[in-house]
A and B are shown apart, each in its own frame.
Chain A
Amino acid sequence: MGEKESSSELLIANKELAYQNQEKENHAAELSIANKELAFQNQEKEDRAAELIIANKELAFQNQEKENRAAELIIANKELAFQNDEKENRAAELIIANKELAFQNDEKESRAAELLIANKELAFQNDEKEKRAAELIIANKELAFQNDEKEHRAAELIIANKELAFQNDEKEKRAAELIIANKELAFQNDEKEKRAAELIIANKELAFQNEEKEKRAIELLTANTELKKAEDDIRKFNEELEQKVIERTAQLEAVNKELEAFSYSVSHDLRAPIRGINGYAQILEEDYADKLDQDGIAVLHSIRKNSKKMGQLIDDLLAFSKLGRKQVSFADINMNNLVNTLKEDFLAEDKEKKIEFNIEILPPAKGDQSLIKQVWINLISNAIKYSKNKSHAPIAIGAYHEGAQVIYYVKDNGAGFDMQYYDKLFGVFQRLHSQEEFEGTGIGLAIVQKIVNRHNGSVWAESRLNKETTFYFSLPDINS
């Protein structure tokens, strides 16, 4: 062994010491931690001890409480034990009382059984007695009933006896009545036989009449059928007629319209050329007369006269056709005023002073004043015209009632007309005199007739040539 070995051993020992030192230090540190742990645990234990002290106090309080409760339970237990004793005493008393009652019960049952037997005996005896009483009551009632029956029977017999006597009397009376009735019946029988014979005859008569009536009925039925057929025929005929009237009316309306168009044409178109002829003729006459000889001037005169006449005819024709279309208005007409006014007009125109009017009182009328005035004008002017050849011209105007009409007349002593041509008197443009004898277009009387007809009247005339001529027209009497 050398030095080297000793130093290495020293080094190792050193290191061992260092290591031991380190271990000791570690251990010291661990001891310090453990120390701290113990201190902490110590603290914990102290806290726990404090808590245990508090818990201990709590338990001590609870313990006290439980002891109090136990003391109370002991007192309650003693009470219950006392009550238990009491109940046992009472039960013992009850058992004794029960026994007593059971005994008494037995006693009562024995007694009841005895009473039941006695009762049954009494009930039987009672039933027996009641049966006997009921039998006695029935027997008694039977006897009483038999007694009553016998009394009734006796009373009935007495009544029956009286009844028989009465019936006997009645029968005798009845027999007498029957004899009388019998005679009466025999008489009635005879009467009835007579009556029956009469009825048979009457019956036959009725049967005959019946047959006649049936025959008559059949005849009537036939007549009825024929009548109905006739009625049907008439109705049919009527319908046809109505249809015809409608057609005819339509035709008439068409004709009327044509006529109106014709009148207008006549009024306008025919008048113009005539006016021309007339006018030019007058110009010739006025401005060129010195270039014509006597005959030429005469011809010119004829042209003017004819064209003037033509104009007059056209105007008259127009007036006449207008009359047929004019609406007639009906109003009161004072005939006296109307005719007397006309009289003045006519007298004013009478230069020769030969007219003498003789006018009676004229009844009033109903109608179209202007048209009726035209009637009077035409009749009076005719009377004057046809009296022109007389030196004295009396004109009588009057009226009279006839039925439901008033008849007015105008009478003159002029030329008159030949009754032979009477049917032409009222015709349009019909003249019974030549133009040379009496001027005129032949429209005046046609107008008179048309106006009077439109007033539901009629017009007629009678004449003795050159002696007396009367024109009449009738209008409905306004008072009837």
Chain B
Amino acid sequence: MSHEEIEILFVEDSLDDAMLTLRAFKKSGFVNTVHHVKDGAEALDYIYARGAYTSRNVQKHPKLILLDLKMPKMSGTEVLQRIKSDPNFKSIPIVILTSSKEDPDIQACYALGANSYIVKPVESENFFQIIKEIGMYWMVLSQLPD
């Protein structure tokens, strides 16, 4: 899988959630275009083509970032803030995908420029359905910036 083809950057520290999400993408036909990173620092390395991603073309933005909030080292909120405050990358749509239903998190994310805030359902069937719908909505229905 070449990085030039990546359309969705998926930031998730929980391997279980990552596995389930990737399976849902796979079943929806998006699997080849999703790249999973395990924490916020790696997500920023990917975006800025640093560290393990120096070979990546920094001009080529992912079309969508799926971002978990509660992660070790660097939280999703921090990643969101960094990307949305950088004129080069702030046009990339960011969908927050998290377990937290807490109001303050939701308010804060939208204030920082998140494009959507989705609570992962506990029930697997609903969960798979939501992942599928996110893929459909952002990758197929929405007209995204280049």
Residues of chain A touching chain B, judged by Cβ–Cβ distance below 8 Å, are 263-264, 267-269, 271-276, 278-283, 304, 307-308, 310-312, 314-315, 318
| Known contacts A279-B19, A311-B121; 6 further A-B pairs (Cβ under 8 A) | A268-B100, A275-B127, A283-B23, A312-B122, A314-B122, A315-B101
Once A279-B124, A314-B122 are accepted as A-B contacts, the answer to whether A272 and B17 lie under 8 Å apart by CB is yes
Once A281-B124, A282-B128 are accepted as A-B contacts, the answer to whether A272 and B16 lie under 8 Å apart by CB is yes
Q: Enumerate B17-46 residues with CB–CB distance to A below 8 Å.
A: 17, 19-20, 23
Complex-state Cα separation, A271 to B124, whole angstroms:
11
- Assess whether A311 is in contact with B122, with CB atoms less than 8 Å apart: yes
- What is the 8 Å Cβ interface bit string for chain B, positions 90-106, against chain A (1 contact, 0 not)? 00000000111110000
- Residues on B with C-beta less than 8 A from A278 are 122-124, 127
Q: Which of A304, A310, A318 contacts B124 (CB 8 A)?
A: A304
- Residues on B with C-beta less than 8 A from A279 are 16, 19-20, 124, 127-128
- Assess whether B102 is in contact with A271, with CB atoms less than 8 Å apart: no
- Assess whether B14 is in contact with A267, with CB atoms less than 8 Å apart: no
- Assess whether A267 is in contact with B124, with CB atoms less than 8 Å apart: no
Complex-state Cα separation, A269 to B99, whole angstroms:
8
Q: Which residue of A lies closest to B14 (CB)?
A: A272
- Residues on B with C-beta less than 8 A from A307 are 122
Q: Which of B16, B101, B102, B125 contacts A282 (CB 8 A)?
A: B125
Does B120 reach chain A (CB closer than 8 Å)?
yes
- Assess whether B99 is in contact with A282, with CB atoms less than 8 Å apart: no
Q: List 24 A-B contacts (CB under 8 A).
A: A264-B102, A267-B102, A268-B98, A268-B100, A272-B16, A272-B17, A272-B120, A275-B16, A275-B124, A275-B127, A276-B14, A276-B17, A278-B123, A278-B124, A278-B127, A279-B19, A279-B128, A282-B125, A282-B128, A283-B23, A307-B122, A308-B123, A311-B121, A315-B101
Does B70 reach chain A (CB closer than 8 Å)?
yes
Write the nearest CB–CB distance from A464 to chain B, whole angstroms: 37
- Assess whether B99 is in contact with A318, with CB atoms less than 8 Å apart: no
Residues of chain B touching chain A, judged by Cβ–Cβ distance below 8 Å, are 14, 16-17, 19-20, 23, 70, 98-102, 120-125, 127-128
Q: Which residue of A lies closest to B122 (CB)?
A: A311
Once A275-B127, A283-B23 are accepted as A-B contacts, the answer to whether A268 and B120 lie under 8 Å apart by CB is no
- Assess whether B70 is in contact with A268, with CB atoms less than 8 Å apart: yes
- Residues on A with C-beta less than 8 A from B14 are 272, 276
Q: Count the A-B residue pairs with Cβ separation under 8 angstroms: how many?
A: 68
- Residues on B with C-beta less than 8 A from A272 are 14, 16-17, 99, 120
Q: Which residue of B lies closest to A276 (CB)?
A: B16
Q: Which residue of B lies closest to A310 (CB)?
A: B122
- Residues on B with C-beta less than 8 A from A264 are 100, 102
- Residues on B with C-beta less than 8 A from A267 are 99-102
- Assess whether A268 is in contact with B99, with CB atoms less than 8 Å apart: yes
Complex-state Cα separation, A308 to B125, whole angstroms:
10
Q: Which of A268, A269, A275, A315 contacts B20 (CB 8 A)?
A: A275
Complex-state Cα separation, A307 to B20, whole angstroms:
16
- Residues on B with C-beta less than 8 A from A283 are 20, 23
- Residues on B with C-beta less than 8 A from A263 are 102
- Assess whether B120 is in contact with A275, with CB atoms less than 8 Å apart: yes
Write the nearest CB–CB distance from A282 to chain B, whole angstroms: 4
Complex-state Cα separation, A282 to B125, whole angstroms:
8
Once A271-B122, A274-B122, A308-B122 are accepted as A-B contacts, the answer to whether A318 and B127 lie under 8 Å apart by CB is no
Complex-state Cα separation, A279 to B20, whole angstroms:
7
- Residues on A with C-beta less than 8 A from B123 are 275, 278, 308, 311
Complex-state Cα separation, A324 to B23, whole angstroms:
38
- Residues on A with C-beta less than 8 A from B124 are 275, 278-279, 281-282, 304
Write the nearest CB–CB distance from A301 to chain B, whole angstroms: 13
Q: Which of B17, B98, B101, B121 contacts A318 (CB 8 A)?
A: B101
- Residues on A with C-beta less than 8 A from B98 are 268
Closest 10 CB pairs of A and B: A311-B122, A276-B16, A278-B124, A279-B20, A282-B124, A279-B124, A271-B99, A268-B99, A268-B100, A275-B122
- Residues on A with C-beta less than 8 A from B128 are 279, 282
Q: Which of B17, B100, B101 contacts A275 (CB 8 A)?
A: B17
Write the nearest CB–CB distance from A145 to chain B, whole angstroms: 133
- Residues on A with C-beta less than 8 A from B100 are 264, 267-268
- Assess whether B99 is in contact with A315, with CB atoms less than 8 Å apart: no
- Residues on B with C-beta less than 8 A from A304 are 124
Write the nearest CB–CB distance from A317 to chain B, whole angstroms: 12
- Residues on A with C-beta less than 8 A from B16 are 272-273, 275-276, 279-280
Complex-state Cα separation, A282 to B19, whole angstroms:
13
